[in-house]
Structure 1
Amino acid sequence: MPYAPLTPSAILSSLLLFSSAAFLAFAAACDGGDKAALIEIKAAFGNPAGLSSWTSGSPCCSAWSGVECDSTTGRVTSLTVFALNVSARVPPAIANLSALQSLNLAYNRLYGPLPAFLGPPHLPDLSFLRLDGNRLSGRIPATLTVFDLSLVGNRLSGPLPPSFAGATFGDVDLGDNRLTGDASFLFGHKKKLNALNLERNRFEFDLSRVQLPKVMDILKIAHNMIYGRIPAEAAHRKWLQFDVSYNRLCGPIPQSKYIQQFGASHFDHNKCLCGPPLAPCS
């Protein structure tokens, strides 16, 4: 039987199939240094059952839970170890994942200080960091200038680092810690800060002097020692969440439909705030 030559469409289909297989094989092979770092991280976390897929014989970019890689370079870009009941310090091997963009270690039992390597120069591309719901203590390092930063529900203390004044933040969640001092430098008209949660700390600054970021639609500062007045410009924001209760604020509450959607509990227990939804100003 004579050999039938392949048609151009068949050749193209074969090439595409081969290219796809090659691409998938390459994409599944993560960087060797990153893979070694992940093995160290697993050991530092006590080899939890939730990381059982992390085995040396399997491709970490396609087979390991919580790991995502760049399809071109094979570098690890995202690491999630969420709610696995891990009791350990934050592993130093994370600093070796120098292409990391997202790190989520929330709702474990991590303890000890926040390491300075969680940010530049070790992790220059890190833009998303969740360490909420742990037992971390001590001060926040100056290097944690991460665009989306969540440290809520730890045991952190002391003032915010001065580096935060010039940092570009989108969401900052520092609630339920023991932080103190001035946090007013997080505010500013031109800043990209969309959401700020400072609740249940010991911050103390004059709210009258802050300029609300134009994109801000979440402000939660309840249970602090913040004083002054609510800025008049608060009336012009389309708030999704707004809570200034349990502080030392005074003066009339700015009036708008966006403010009036929140009940008295969002303004109660201040020094002398007045006006709807609280008692009229005298």
Structure 2
Amino acid sequence: MIDLRSFDPLNTTIYMAGTLSKSIGDLTELLYIRLPAWKKITGKIPNAIARLQHLDTLDLSQNDFIGKMPSWITRLSKLRILRMGGNRLRGIIPPAITTLTNLDTLELEENRITGTIPQAMGNLSRLVMLRLNNNLLYGSLPESIGSIQTLFLLDASHNALVGKIPSSYGNLPELAFLSLNNNKLACTIPSSLGRLSRLAALHLEDNQLKGYIPASLGNISGLGDLDLSRNFLEGPIPTSFTLLTQLGTLKVSGNRLTNPLPSLRLLPSFLDLSYNEFKLGNYIPTWIMNASFGFEISLAGCGIDTGLEDWKPRAAQFFTSVDLSANNISGSAVEFFATMTFLSHANLSNNQLKYDFSIGVNFSRLLQTLDLHSNQLYGSIPSSIGTLTDLKTLDLSKNGLTGKIPTEMLNLTNLSQLNVSYNHLCGEIPQGKPLNGFPVSSYSHNKCLCGLPLGPC
């Protein structure tokens, strides 16, 4: 055994460099080679490893190996675990890899592997983990994978795969995690996926999926994470989703989904319904408003037409992120911010908010993003905004703000994005970082602002 695993793979200052010597092939009794997560081990993987006919485990993941995906791997007939993810390997997956019938773990993710997934992948009948994500793979998903009765995780996301999701994938009794997102799959979601009784996470976002969401997905009682965002799905969310009592994440943004919304029994901790064809009007569903818990919610572009004073969810104090942008919400945001104790990201842009921004708004001290652009705010920017020292993004553009930019904003040392353009601000921009490090566009189209990065006063 050679076992030199990095004890702290998340620490980027800890690494082991160099190349892997070909003399490793002389250790013919080796069963295990584990050298993962050292980040700076580079060079080609020595062909001499092919001489290690007893090898059970080869783990070279999360390093900097280069060269083609080694074809000699297929000569290691006893190999059970093969991990080469997180390197710079290129070339194709050797079709003969499907003869390594002892494999239970095959992880080739985060490389530069091209070509297609071998269609005979189903021959790996003992496979539990299959990670092919973040490569340059194209072609179709092999139908034969649906015959691997032991498969627990399948991740082929972030490739260029086309075609359909094989209906045979609904025959995988142990499958708990299925990620096919960020491909070019253009099909309907097969209703057979509703038979995956152990599925906990389903990620199909960023494809070209079409048609209705199959009602059968409501049969997956343990489903906790569902992301169907940015596809071409249409129709309503199935009423069968009321059965998904374990659903912690539901993201369906950027589709063509329509009313009515189902009455979910519990508010998912992470809910994103934004930019569909929902028309919520002045009625926000009671299962959202009456929920006692929630972290992140996005109802951007959901056709909400009400006053912000009516936004009174019971879970307000627990929300960390709220996006109500691109609606027709009016009124004041003073009470909204006062009730959001742990809010770190707030987007109320592109609405009809109209109130005096200079009054004492009680922002959460945890706020990192504040986006109020394209409303009708008036008054001055309050000096208290300088106390939001975690703030990274501030957008107050396209409002009716007047007065000076407060010098207290120089305290916002973490601010990386600022936009106060298209207001009626006047006076000298407080000089110093971060304010004079932003481009002219951050301050343009005001009444009489001056000082860096604008012209002198």
Do the two structures share a fold, i.e. TM-score over 0.5? Answer: yes
- Which residue matches 2:293? 258
Q: Secondary structure at the match of 2:264?
A: helix
- Which residue matches 1:57? 51
Cα deviation, 1:58-97, whole Å, max 9, x if unaligned, reads 244233546755xxxx932111001110011002353322
Deviation at 1:188, TM superposition (A): 2.3
- Which residue matches 1:32? none
Within 5 Å, give how 1:145-156 maps onto structure 2.
145=170, 146-156=175-185
**What is the CA–CA distance in structure 2 between the aligned matches of 1:186 and 1:217, rounded to whole Å?**
18
Deviation at 1:229, TM superposition (A): 3.5
- Which residue matches 2:302? 270
TM-score normalised per structure 2: 0.45
- Which residue matches 2:196? 167
Change (3 A) 1:56 1:273: farther
- Which residue matches 2:250? 219
Change (3 A) 1:64 1:209: closer
Structure 2: gaps spanning 5 or more residues = 1-27, 33-42, 62-78, 82-100, 312-321, 331-457
Alpha-carbon contact 1:50-1:84 (below 8 Å) kept: no
**What is the CA–CA distance in structure 1 between the aligned matches of 2:219 and 2:143, rounded to whole Å?**
29
Q: Secondary structure at the match of 2:186?
A: strand
Pick one of 190, 195, 205 that aligns with 2:235: 205
**What is the CA–CA distance in structure 2 between the aligned matches of 1:91 and 1:196, rounded to whole Å?**
28
Match for 1:86: what amino acid?
Answer: I
**What is the CA–CA distance in structure 2 between the aligned matches of 1:199 and 1:108, rounded to whole Å?**
21
Pick one of 22, 28, 31 that aligns with 2:31: 28
- Which residue matches 2:352? none
Within 5 Å, give how 1:234-253 maps onto structure 2.
236-237=266-267, 239-251=268-280, 252-253=284-285
Alpha-carbon contact 1:115-1:141 (below 8 Å) kept: yes
Alpha-carbon contact 2:194-2:220 (below 8 Å) kept: no
Q: Does 1:102 align with 2:129?
A: yes
Alpha-carbon contact 2:194-2:219 (below 8 Å) kept: no
Aligned length: 227
TM-score normalised per structure 1: 0.70
**What is the CA–CA distance in structure 1 between the aligned matches of 2:277 and 2:45, rounded to whole Å?**
47
Deviation at 1:246, TM superposition (A): 0.4
- Which residue matches 1:180? 210
- Which residue matches 2:104? 77
Change (3 A) 1:60 1:51: farther
Match for 1:183: what amino acid?
Answer: I
Match for 1:218: what amino acid?
Answer: T
- Which residue matches 2:391? none
**What is the CA–CA distance in structure 2 between the aligned matches of 1:227 and 1:68, rounded to whole Å?**
48
Change (3 A) 1:231 1:84: same
Change (3 A) 1:208 1:136: closer
**What is the CA–CA distance in structure 1 between the aligned matches of 2:210 and 2:48, rounded to whole Å?**
40
Match for 1:90: what amino acid?
Answer: I
**What is the CA–CA distance in structure 1 between the aligned matches of 2:44 and 2:181, rounded to whole Å?**
23
Change (3 A) 1:115 1:63: closer
Alpha-carbon contact 2:119-2:143 (below 8 Å) kept: no
Q: Secondary structure at the match of 1:215?
A: coil
Deviation at 1:185, TM superposition (A): 2.0
**What is the CA–CA distance in structure 1 between the aligned matches of 2:305 and 2:278, rounded to whole Å?**
6
- Which residue matches 1:141? 166
Change (3 A) 1:50 1:159: farther
Instruction: Tell which deviates more after alignment, 145-154 or 57-66.
Output: 57-66
**What is the CA–CA distance in structure 2 between the aligned matches of 1:112 and 1:165, rounded to whole Å?**
25
Deviation at 1:52, TM superposition (A): 5.0
Match for 1:244: what amino acid?
Answer: L
Q: Percent identity?
A: 23
Deviation at 1:257, TM superposition (A): 4.7
Alpha-carbon contact 2:226-2:251 (below 8 Å) kept: yes
Instruction: Tell which deviates more after alignment, 145-154 or 101-110.
Output: 145-154
**What is the CA–CA distance in structure 2 between the aligned matches of 1:54 and 1:99, rounded to whole Å?**
27
Instruction: Tell which deviates more after alignment, 77-86 or 224-233.
Output: 224-233
Change (3 A) 1:144 1:61: same
Instruction: Tell which deviates more after alignment, 109-118 or 93-102.
Output: 93-102
Deviation at 1:273, TM superposition (A): 6.9
Structure 1: gaps spanning 5 or more residues = 1-24, 30-48
Alpha-carbon contact 1:113-1:139 (below 8 Å) kept: yes
Change (3 A) 1:141 1:54: farther
Alpha-carbon contact 1:53-1:64 (below 8 Å) kept: no
Match for 1:111: what amino acid?
Answer: Y
Larger RCO: Structure 1 or Structure 2 (Cα < 8 Å, ≥ 6 residues apart)? 1
Change (3 A) 1:112 1:82: same
Deviation at 1:268, TM superposition (A): 1.3
Change (3 A) 1:96 1:273: farther
Larger radius of gyration: 2
**What is the CA–CA distance in structure 1 between the aligned matches of 2:190 and 2:50, rounded to whole Å?**
40
- Which residue matches 1:44? none
**What is the CA–CA distance in structure 1 between the aligned matches of 2:131 and 2:183, rounded to whole Å?**
15
Q: Secondary structure at the match of 2:145?
A: coil
Q: Does 1:228 align with 2:259?
A: yes
Deviation at 1:128, TM superposition (A): 0.5
Alpha-carbon contact 2:188-2:210 (below 8 Å) kept: yes
